[in-house]
């Protein structure tokens, strides 16, 4: 049986953009489809025990962002509006057998739960297992309280947070926006 890979995608439209809810919806659906279409690439990147090189990660992130921008450009063309009217944040996480890849444009939170051995022993002299929650990336807020970064034509790689983590002992994933 083929089990689809766990992929999280959360998008939150910019409050200042006229039809950002359309952009957020198109982005969420389109990026989910892309993540599943890239299955063979994920096998190579995330299911191998070999260390992942930074350039492999950066190349994949650039591909994901190019697709995200393209989805909003297509939507803007379809509705004859400026692409900025559809701006949205983007949170993504893709699980693999050995690694997970995460990407963050804007605010919101990506959280992973990992089980770790605790120094204390249980009644059978076995190490206790303890869940540890970790957020991936920073808060994604800009210089001012209400400022954040969005997927649009002006997005720079320097405003994108991304990384690769070991997926060993991961027991939970969460993605949430402030919306």
Q: What is the pLDDT of residues 38-92, one digit of tens each?
A: 999 999 999 999 888 899 999 999 999 999 999 999 999 999 999 999 999 999 9
| Mean pLDDT of the region 27-32 | 97
Rounded Cα distance, 95 and 55, in Å: 19
b/e 120-155 (16+ beta carbons within 10 angstroms → b): eeeeeeeeeeeeeeeebbeebeeeeeeebbbbbeeb
pLDDT tens profile 155-179: 888 889 999 999 999 999 999 988 6
Start-end of H helices in 47-154 = 54-79
The pLDDT of residue 147:
63
**Integer CA distances (angstroms), 13 to 89, 156, 168, in order:** 6, 18, 33
For residue 111, pLDDT beyond 50: yes
Asked if 112 and 168 count as a contact pair (C-beta separation under 8 A), the reply is no
**pTM (2 decimals)?**
0.88
Query: Which own/partner pairs from 167-170 qualify as long-range (CB within 8 Å, at least 24 positions apart)?
Result: 167/46, 167/95, 167/96, 167/97, 167/98, 167/99, 167/100, 168/98, 168/114, 169/114, 169/115, 169/116, 170/95, 170/100, 170/112, 170/113, 170/114
Q: Coil, helix or strand for 74?
A: helix
Percent of the chain with pLDDT over 90: 67
Rounded Cα distance, 22 and 44, in Å: 33
The pLDDT of residue 1:
46
């Amino acid at each position: 049986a083929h089990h689809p890979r766990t992929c999280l995608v959360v998008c939150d439209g910019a409050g200042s953009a006229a039809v950002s809810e359309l952009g957020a919806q198109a982005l969420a659906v389109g990026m989910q489809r892309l993540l599943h279409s890239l299955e063979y690439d994920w096998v190579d990147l995330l299911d191998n025990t070999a260390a992942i090189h930074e350039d492999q990660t950066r190349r994949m992130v650039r591909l994901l962002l190019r697709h995200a921008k393209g989805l909003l450009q297509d939507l803007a063309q379809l509705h004859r509006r400026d692409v900025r009217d559809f701006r949205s944040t983007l949170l993504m996480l893709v699980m693999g057998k050995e690694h997970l890849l995460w990407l963050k444009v804007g605010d919101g939170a990506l959280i992973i739960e990992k089980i770790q051995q605790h120094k204390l022993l249980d009644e059978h002299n076995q190490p206790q297992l303890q869940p540890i929650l970790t957020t991936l990336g920073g808060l994604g807020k800009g210089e001012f309280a209400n400022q954040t970064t969005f997927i649009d034509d002006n997005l720079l790689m320097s405003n994108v947070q991304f990384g690769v983590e070991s997926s060993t002992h991961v027991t939970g994933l969460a993605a949430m926006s402030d919306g």
